Amino acid sequence: MAAEKLAGQVAWIGGGASGIGAAVAELFAAEGARVAIADVQVPLGEELARRIGRAGGQAIFTPCDVAQETEVRASIEQAVEQFGGLQIVVNCAGVVHVAKLDAYSSDDWDQLMGVNVKSIFLAVKHALPELRKNRRSYVVNIGSVSSFVGQASTPAYTASKGAVLQLSRSIALDYAADGLRSNCICPGITDTPMLRYHLSKAPDPDAALAERLRRVPLGVAMLPIDIAKAALYLACEDSSGITGTSLVVDGGYTAAAEWK
C-alpha cells in the first residue's frame, strides 16, 4: 500500500463544506491528514466531518465566516487545540455575484472581496504563528482562470481572483524563510454548486453550460476532485521547490485564444 502523503499533518480548510473545499477535505483526510473544515454552511459541514469519520479519517467542523477576523482566529485556534498543530491552510471559500458593475452596490463589492480575498489575509495571519513552528508548511489558495482572463458580468469576482494570485505570491516571498510555500490553483469550469448557481442566472442553464464547454479543449467540466488532487500536490513535498506560482486546472481553457 502506498504511504499516505499527509500522514501527521493538520489542514485547515476555509470554505470546506461544499464543492472544491469538500473534495479537498475528503482527499486530504484519505491521505492521512486531520482536517478542520471551516464554513458558514453548518449542517453540510457537520455531515462532511461525520462522513470523513465514517471513512476512517479525522475531521472536525468549525462554523466560521471566513471574512470575520474573530471567527477565523477562533476557528484556527480550535483546529490547533483539537489536533495539536497546523501545517496546511487551504483557502477555498468563494462567492460569485453576477451583475455588471453599474448594478453593484458598495455592499455587494465589499461582501465579495471579504469572502474571496480578505479571508486569505485573515487565515494566513492567524495561522502563521502555528505554521512557523514547522520546518515546512503550506498555503494553497483557490484562484480561477479569472486570475488571468476577464469574465463578463462578474467585475468583483474577476478582480478578486486576480488579487488571490498576487496575494499568493506576496505570501510566498514574505514567508519562504520560514519554510512556508504558498501557491494558487486556478480552476476552470468546475462542476460545483457555485457553477450551478452561476448558470442558473442564464435563461437556459444547460445550453449555457454546453456553450461554455465548447471553449474547453477537453470538452468537459472539471470535477472537484481534479482540483483537490492539485491541492494535494501543492500541500506536500511532491511539489518541493514550488512557491509563489499558479497551477491552472482548466481542461485547456486558457491555453489558446482560438482553436477548433
Considering only residues 30 to 69 of the shown chain, the ones binding ligand NAD according to CB under 6 A are: 39-41, 64-67
Written as nine digits, the cell of 255 is 491555453
Site membership for ligand NAD, residue 95 (CB under 6 A): yes
By beta-carbon proximity to ligand NAD, the closer residue of 92 and 165 is 92
**From candidates 52, 59, 112, 115, binder to ligand NAD by CB under 6 A:** 115
Q: Assess 86 for contact with ligand NAD (CB under 6 A).
A: no
For residues 109, 110, 114, 118, the Cα torsion angle rounded to the nearest 10 degrees is 100
Alpha-helical (H) ranges within 84-192 are 106-113, 119-131, 155-175
At its nearest, how many Å lie between ligand NAD and the CB of residue 133? 25
Binding region for ligand NAD (CB under 6 A) out of 19-27, 50-58, 126-134, 168-176: 19-27
Q: How far apart are CA 201 and CA 214, in angstroms?
A: 19
Does the footprint of ligand NAD cover residue 194 (CB under 6 A)?
Answer: yes
Helical axes 193-200 vs 205-213, angle rounded to 10°: 110
Planar angle of CA 202, 204, 209, nearest 5 degrees: 80
Distance of alpha carbon 16 from alpha carbon 26, whole angstroms: 9
The catalytic residue positions are 157
Contacting ligand NAD (CB under 6 A), which of 5, 6, 10, 19? 19
Span from 3-11, 121-129, 131-139, 183-191 in contact with ligand NAD (CB under 6 A): 183-191
Cβ neighbors of 189 (< 8 A, separation 6 or more) are 195, 209, 212, 213, 216, 221, 222, 250, 251, 253
Nearer to ligand NAD, 20 or 36 (CB): 20
Residue among 148 and 178 whose Cβ is closer to ligand NAD:
148
Query: Interface residues for ligand NAD in 198-257 (CB under 6 A)?
Result: none
Question: Which lies closer to ligand NAD via its Cβ, residue 179 or residue 205?
Answer: 205
Interface stretch with ligand NAD, choices 18-26, 53-61, 82-90, 230-238 (CB under 6 A): 18-26
Taking residue 175's Cβ as centre, other Cβ atoms within 10 Å add up to 19
Looking at the Cβ atoms of 46 and 65, the one nearer to ligand NAD is 65
Integer CA distances (angstroms), 43 to 47, 66, 152, 189, in order: 6, 17, 33, 26
Residue type, 17: A
Q: How far is the CB of 5 from ligand NAD (least distance, A)?
A: 22
Of 33 and 67, which CB lies nearer to ligand NAD in the complex structure?
67
Given candidates 20, 33, 131, 139, which one binds ligand NAD under the rule CB under 6 A? 20
Q: How many CA atoms lie within 13 A of 44 on its CB side?
A: 15
Structural contact between residues 111 and 62, judged by C-beta atoms closer than 8 angstroms: no
Residues interacting with ligand NAD, by CB under 6 A?
A: 15, 17-21, 39-41, 64-67, 92-95, 115, 142, 144, 187, 189-190, 192-195
